Chain A
Amino acid sequence: MSNYLDRLEAEAIHVLRETAGQFERPALLFSGGKDSICLVHLALKAFRPGKFPFPLVHIDTGHNFPEAIQFRDRLAEQLGEQLIVRHVEDTLKRRGIPDAKGKFPSRNPLQTHTLLETIEEFRFDACIGGARRDEEKARAKERFFSVRDEFGQWDPKLQRPELWNIYNGKIHPGENVRVFPISNWTELDVWNYILRENIELPSIYFTHERTCVLTEHEQLMATNVFISLDEHDTIVNRLVRYRTVGDMTCTAAVESKANSVEDIIEELKNTTVSERGATRMDDRISEAAMEDRKKGGYF
């Protein structure tokens, strides 16, 4: 078996089954994006004809694209799997945490609070996520099994060595593990896999017309109720698609006519901008932005 997608798939399935075998209360963090949709597809291959040994958990920022939310609900229903949704809004209210401010009020950093609360509420000991090492430099050293302390923190200097196909998921009470089965996949691998497996995706990944604000960094942000517009803004109508599905407040669209998975793969092969660089406003702020957020308990 030397085909690269077969090897990546086998590795991911192995990691999912190790998670099911080693932990008592795992959960799959489902964002509605392509990476977590691939995880669900891999979980089918890992556990059918049985049910998933974990619920799908979505941390809803309240700023999600409606297309992604509809897709999430339909998928969970079609598969007959349990879906748990927790809202950032509720956390902010309950704990009196000030909401995100500014022109593009990103709740991205705030969702960490809700995630940690949800882990505590259900006493999850392993949270499966779709992060990939190619996404950005701090993630390049992340393990498949990444231990977090009671405060959800990640210490990049104290990671366990991870060898061969052997994953050490032993933890102390209160600790939990983040599991990243598709660590070794790149954005292009994900798309090639989606093509090969014929995996259905939310419509916003494909070209559509949208009214957008042109930001100072020349990024296209869909106009929506969460963004405060003023008379200086340049509003444009463009054919766009999304490369990642995050919040409407911090995920930029890219101009594209790509109408199919094949088109998208062609487009990516010719692109010169990385996935996060193209679409995430928050990572541009600082080179170490992701590393800092991860230490604090971010996905």
Chain B
Amino acid sequence: MELLRFFTAGNVDDGKSTLIGRLLLDSGSISTDIIETVTRQSKVTGENTTIDLALLTDGLRAEREQGITIDVAYKYFSTDRRKFIIADTPGHAQYTRNMFTGASTADLAIILVDARNGITEQTRRHTIISAVLGIPHIVVCINKMDLVNYSEACYEAIKADFSKVTAALDLNQVTFIPTAALSGENVVHSSKQMPWHTGKSLLSFLENVSVQPAQLHDKARFQVQYVIRPQTEKLHDYRGYAGTLWSGKLQVGDEVQVLPGAFFTRIQTIEHNLKMTESADAGQPVVMQLEDDIDISRGAWIVPGSELPEVSDTVQGTICWMDNTPFRTGAMKLLLQQGSLNTKASIKEISYKIDIETFEKSPSDDALKLNELASVCIRTAEPLVVDSYKENRNTGAFILINEYTNQTVAAGVLERNLQA
């Protein structure tokens, strides 16, 4: 059985929580005791529907009281065909960082549009975030179709509008589905009210869309997370490098280079699943031994000599600022974390800002506020392996940490190597 991870985005009140509730309820994923609890709460909050579907997803008390989703909530369901992980993200501009978080691990985005309102600033923002984060599939649910008399013309008009928005974006596959989440039209079951829609229902689409865990080139990328040294009598000299092979394939005997550095050696053994094996595939956690005894520490990369990446201490990246305290050039001590590598870093220059609702570039005023998007030039103390995020979602991403507060203050994707 395959796994599909998706996130949902929409304006407040577009029906996101209702849609997810529908998916869970109609696919039979909600236990009766939870339905009972929610039904009880629905009455308390004075809803006139028998069950307020949104309550199935709005988790924390603060949020229940305010009636909005303020943090990413993860939900799980499965059908006979697939297991699904949903990141339910808040729609407000002030929670852009939460959407970034939920989207970072998603294979697919569901963007909700209220059929009465059409494309809004928020729709544009959600689409731009999906583009920046390279989400492989985008599904636009044009919801509340019941409130526009299930009008095909209305649906087509919104579709055309959306295509205008995305013209400038580097988007992957986009699919449109007209839905009415409250009554469940085209969510799990195909709609009788909209016979003109010949495409799949949302669930059927989610079950059938090809699963791409991430966009990856096929060059092998392995990063050391932890060095295993049993130091027992039997395994006296054993030095195993534990980590995940993020992309490509590695084989025993392959000539590899340890980065950063210029050391070449060969792969002596590969262990996966507690057994010796001849090769490792993308996504697998493995332990490798190398032929030469060199000192390799956490955060170093082991890559084939034939598939070398750029290595540089000056990189260009698009970042989303996630901290309440704004950034000013030169004013904050930062750490950059790329997978298991943690190194001191500084933002040398904010090259330009990206308007998160129009995707237009604008000159920078040397400061970055919460939820702002910018292309920046970063210098690091230790050099980084530079795969552009477009080519490798697993290795081309990083976060920035404030050295004093330890907070994650920004998330970024690598663009290209400046020195190349």
Contacts and interface: CB of A to CB of B under 8 A. Distances in A.
Which 8 pairs between the two chains have the least Cβ-Cβ distance?
A1-B283, A277-B33, A4-B3, A137-B59, A170-B406, A274-B31, A163-B104, A50-B228
A6 B82 CA distance: 14
A156 B225 contact: no
B280 to A, nearest CB: 10
A53 B225 CA distance: 13
Interface of B: 1-3, 31-34, 37, 41, 57, 59-62, 70-76, 78, 82-83, 85, 97-98, 100-101, 104-105, 211, 213, 225-226, 228-230, 235, 238, 240, 242-244, 246, 273-274, 281-285, 298, 322, 335, 337-340, 393-394, 397-399, 401, 406-408, 411
A109 B1 CA distance: 38
Contact of A50 (B240, B282, B398, B408): B240
Contacts of B72: 141
B284 A1 contact: yes
A189 B83 CA distance: 9
B276 to A, nearest CB: 11
B240 A10 contact: no
Contact of A49 (B85, B238, B243): B238
A134 B83 CA distance: 13
Contacts, number: 169
B41 A287 contact: yes
A13 interface: yes
The CB with the most chain B CB atoms within 10 A, among A20, A45, A163, A184, is that of A163
A188 interface: yes
A78 interface: no
A274 B230 contact: no
Contact of B408 (A48, A165, A168): A168
A287 B42 CA distance: 13
A1 B285 contact: no
Given A7-B3, A13-B285, A46-B285, A140 B75 contact: yes
Contact of A7 (B283, B339, B397, B401): B283
A172 B242 contact: no
B80 to A, nearest CB: 10
B340 A18 contact: yes
Contacts of A172: 406
Nearest to B231: A50
Contacts of B41: 287
Contacts of A13: 244, 285
A170 B335 CA distance: 10
B282 A138 contact: no
Contacts of A137: 59-60, 73
